[in-house]
Amino acid sequence: MNDIRPFTVDVPQAQLDDLHDRLRRTLWPNELPGVADSYGVPNDRVRALAARWLEGFDWRALEARINSYPQFVTEIDGEDIHFLHIRSSRPDATALVLTHGWPGSIVEYLDVIAPLTEPESPDAPAFHLVIPSIPGFGFSGPTRSTGWNRYRTAQAWIELMHRLGYQSYGAVGNDGGSMIAPEIGRLDPSNVVGVHVTQLFSFPSGDPSEFEGLSEADQAALEHLQWFHTNKMAFNTLHSQQPQTLAFALADSPVGLLAWNAQLFGEGLDADFVLANVAIYWLTGTAGSSTRFYYEDAHATEHPTTPTTTPTGLAMFAGDFQSIRRFAERDHSNIISWNSYDTAGPSGGANDAAGHYAAHEAPEILVGDIRQFFAQLA
C-alpha cells in the first residue's frame, strides 16, 4: 500500500469532444436587466469565459505543462493521492508541502516551482516541492470514503512527506491549504520546521473585550469580513450542508460548474487561469466531491482547544481575506512573520479579490516572503 506510482495526465480526446459539445449546447439562464452581480455571477462574465473555453483555451498545452513535472500517485488511508514532486539540485534545499484550496488546484503553484526549486541567486534558499491534490480534488479523483476534512488531510500529508523520506519539512498553504498547513504543524511538530500561509482564518470568539482598542485597519478588516459573509458566503453554506444536491448540476453542466466556481475567482484573474482550474474539476469528475471538503470540515469532531506552536508566517494580500493579528495569536502562539502586500490594480474592487491566488498573481512577492520566512528559521 506504500507504492508510489508515476502518473501522467492524459485526458481522452472523446472527453474533450463531449465537453465542447456540451458547451455548444448550453441553455443560458434568464437574467434581469441592470442588476450587475447583485443576484450572483452575471451572464456576460460566464458567457465570455465559456466562449474562451470552447474556442481559445488549450487543454493540451496545460496538460503538457503539468506533465513537464514529475507526478505520482500513492494510496494513503484508502484514497489515491496525486502529487507533483520536484526536487531541487541544491543539497541544502528544504522540503515543502504546498496545499491548494477550492476552487483552486495544483495549477495555483505552477508559477512558483522554478524560482523555489532553482533560485537564480546561490544565497537564496532552495526547496524540494511536494504539491498534492487534496482528496476529492482534481487528479486525486473523487473520494471513496467520508471524513476528509482538514485534519484527516493534514495527517495524510504527514504520511506522504514521511513516505517520501522527508523527516524535516515545511508546510505552505492557500485558501483551504491555509487551514490544512497549520494542522500539519500541530500534528507533526517535531518534523515541521515552519508553516507559511496566505490567510490565518481566526475569527472573533464572541467575547466583547476582543474588540477593545482595535486599530482602524483591523476594524476595516472586520467590515470586509462582514461584507463577504453577507454577500458571498452562499457557497460555503451549501457545500457545508448539501453538497450532493449541488453535485448533480455541477456534474452535468460544464457551464454550471464554470459559473459556480468562477464566482470565487477574482475578476482580475486571466481567463486561462480560471479555465485551467475549472477544466481540471470537470475532466476528473471532482466538481461534486471537492465540495464535500466543506461538509466534512463543518461536521468534524476534532476541535483543537490549544493554539499551534510551530513557527508560523503570514503573507497577506490586500484584496483577499484580511487576517487580524489579535485573533490569529489566540489560535497560533508562534507567529514570527506577518507581512501585508497590495497587488490590486487601479480597477480592483470587491469582486477582484486581488492576491487570493498570490502564487499565480504575484509569484515574485510570494516566493520572496516564503524565502524570507524559512531563512529566518534556518
What CATH number corresponds to the domain at position 236? 3.40.50.1820
Mean of the per-residue pLDDT values for the chain? 95
* Residue 217, φ and ψ in degrees, nearest 5: -65, -40
Query: How would residue 345 be classed by pLDDT, with cut points 50, 70 and 90?
Result: low
Query: How would residue 205 be classed by pLDDT, with cut points 50, 70 and 90?
Result: confident
| pLDDT higher at 343 or 127 | 127
Q: Which of 128, 151, 166, 175 is catalytic?
A: 175
Q: Which of 166, 169, 281, 294 is catalytic?
A: 294
In a domain, residue 1? The reply is no
162 has catalytic annotation: no
Query: How would residue 349 be classed by pLDDT, with cut points 50, 70 and 90?
Result: low
Name the pTM for this structure: 0.96
Q: Which of 100, 128, 239, 356 is catalytic?
A: 356
Please list the residues that pair with 340 across neighbouring strands: 316
Residue 211 backbone zone (phi > 0: left; psi -120 to 50: alpha; other: beta):
alpha
In a domain, residue 47? The reply is no
* Total domains in the fold of the chain: 1
In a domain, residue 3? The reply is no
Print the SS3 string covering the chain: CCCEEECCCCCCHHHHHHHHHHHHCCCCCCCCCCCCCCCCCCHHHHHHHHHHHHHCCCHHHHHHHHHCCCEEEEEECCEEEEEEEECCCCCCCEEEEEECCCCCCHHHHHHHHHHHHCCCCCCCCCEEEEEECCCCCHHHCCCCCCCCCHHHHHHHHHHHHHHCCCCCEEEEECCHHHHHHHHHHHHCCCCEEEEEECCCCCCCCCCHHHHCCCCHHHHHHHHHHHHHHHHCCHHHHHHHHCHHHHHHHHHHCHHHHHHHHHCCCCCCCCHHHHHHHHHHHHHHCCHHHHHHHHHHHHCCCCCCCCCECCCEEEEEECCCCCCCHHHHHHHECCEEEEEEECCCCCCCCCCCCCCCCHHHHCHHHHHHHHHHHHHHHC
Range of the domain at 250: 54-202+209-376
In a domain, residue 91? The reply is yes
* Per-residue pLDDT tens over the stretch 146-164: 999 999 999 999 999 999 9
Q: In this structure, are residues 237 and 295 in contact, taking their beta carbons and an 8 Å threshold? A: no
Give all strands of the β-sheet with 192-197 in edge-to-edge order: 4-6, 71-76, 79-86, 127-132, 94-99, 169-173, 192-197, 312-317, 335-341
341 has catalytic annotation: no
Query: How would residue 206 be classed by pLDDT, with cut points 50, 70 and 90?
Result: confident
In a domain, residue 19? The reply is no
Q: Which amino acid is at 204?
A: P
pLDDT in the model for residue 1? 59
- For the cut 90, the answer to whether the pLDDT of residue 348 exceeds it is no
In a domain, residue 240? The reply is yes
92 has catalytic annotation: no
In a domain, residue 29? The reply is no
In a domain, residue 41? The reply is no
Q: Which of 249, 272, 266 is nearest to 349 (CA)?
A: 266
* Per-residue pLDDT tens over the stretch 263-300: 999 888 999 999 999 999 999 999 999 999 999 999 99
pLDDT in the model for residue 311? 98
